């Protein structure tokens, strides 16, 4: 059973690294590069990258949940006495807050992006493609995109910190 716990822990950590790495990559590399590109070039690139990254992150989330539930079982956290009365259980419950925020952001991000970047930007650029290429500054969708990723990264780092506390 211990070897299975070690394997589950490693898979849990690897899936978390992939998820946080994807957020970090999009925030620090892809986003800044695409902001400098003409607006006509960005949507096809971003759509392709996001579709692939979201699919891989979904696989990481599934592994993350399965290994997390197994580790909960291994640590005895299905027992309410352990979950609510032990220091380990309380740290675990606190860790679930940023994890829940990350899950919520992952599953609601497409809706939020569509909601905050659809009508205004499309109406402005309906007349010609050139207006999109000449536009400077941040659009509402870009700000929402950045904020969602910054919040997800901050929550992920907090969850990692709390996970390290649980190992100590």
Sequence length of the chain is 168
pLDDT of residue 47: 80
Give the residue, 23 or 126, on which the prediction is more confident: 23
Q: Is the pLDDT at 1 greater than 70, yes or no?
A: yes
Structural tokens at position 71:
């580790």
Where b means 16+ CB within 10 Å and e means fewer, 40-74 reads eebeeebeeebeebeeebeebbebbeebbebbeee
Kindly report, residue by residue over 108-165, the tens digit of the pLDDT.
888 887 777 655 444 444 333 333 333 344 454 677 778 888 999 999 999 999 999 9
pLDDT of residue 134: 33
Average pLDDT over residues 97-102: 94
Average pLDDT over residues 12-32: 89
The span from the CA of 62 to the CA of 70, in Å, is 12
Average pLDDT over residues 8-31: 90
Give the number of domains in the chain.
1
Range from 8-12, 15-19, 67-71, 132-136 carrying the lowest mean pLDDT: 132-136
Cα-Cα-Cα-Cα dihedral sign, residues 120, 126, 131, 133: positive
Can you spell out the DSSP letters for 45-102?
A: HHHHHHHHHHHHHHHHHHHHHHHHHHHHHHHTTTSHHHHHHSHHHHHHHHHHHHHHHH
Domain span including residue 34: 2-167
CA geometry: angle 74, 89, 95, nearest 5 deg: 100
Kindly report, residue by residue over 32-75, the tens digit of the pLDDT.
888 888 878 877 888 888 888 889 999 999 999 999 999 999 98
pLDDT of residue 90: 92
For residue 36, the 8-state DSSP code is: T
């Amino acid at each position: 059973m211990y070897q299975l716990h070690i394997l589950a822990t490693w898979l849990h950590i690897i899936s978390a690294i992939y998820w946080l790495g994807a957020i970090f990559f999009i925030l620090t590399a892809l986003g800044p590069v695409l902001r400098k590109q003409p607006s006509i070039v960005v949507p096809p690139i971003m759509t392709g990258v996001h579709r692939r990254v979201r699919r891989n992150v979904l696989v990481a989330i599934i592994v993350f949940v399965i290994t997390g539930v197994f580790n909960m079982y291994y640590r005895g956290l299905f027992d309410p006495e352990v979950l609510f009365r032990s220091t380990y259980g309380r740290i675990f419950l606190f860790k679930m807050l940023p994890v829940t925020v990350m899950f919520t952001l992952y599953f609601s991000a497409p809706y939020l992006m569509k909601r905050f970047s659809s009508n205004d930007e499309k109406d402005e650029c309906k007349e010609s493609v050139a207006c999109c290429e000449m536009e400077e500054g941040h659009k509402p969708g870009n700000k929402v995109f950045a904020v969602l990723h910054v919040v997800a990264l901050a929550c992920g780092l907090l969850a990692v910190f709390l996970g390290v506390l649980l190992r100590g």
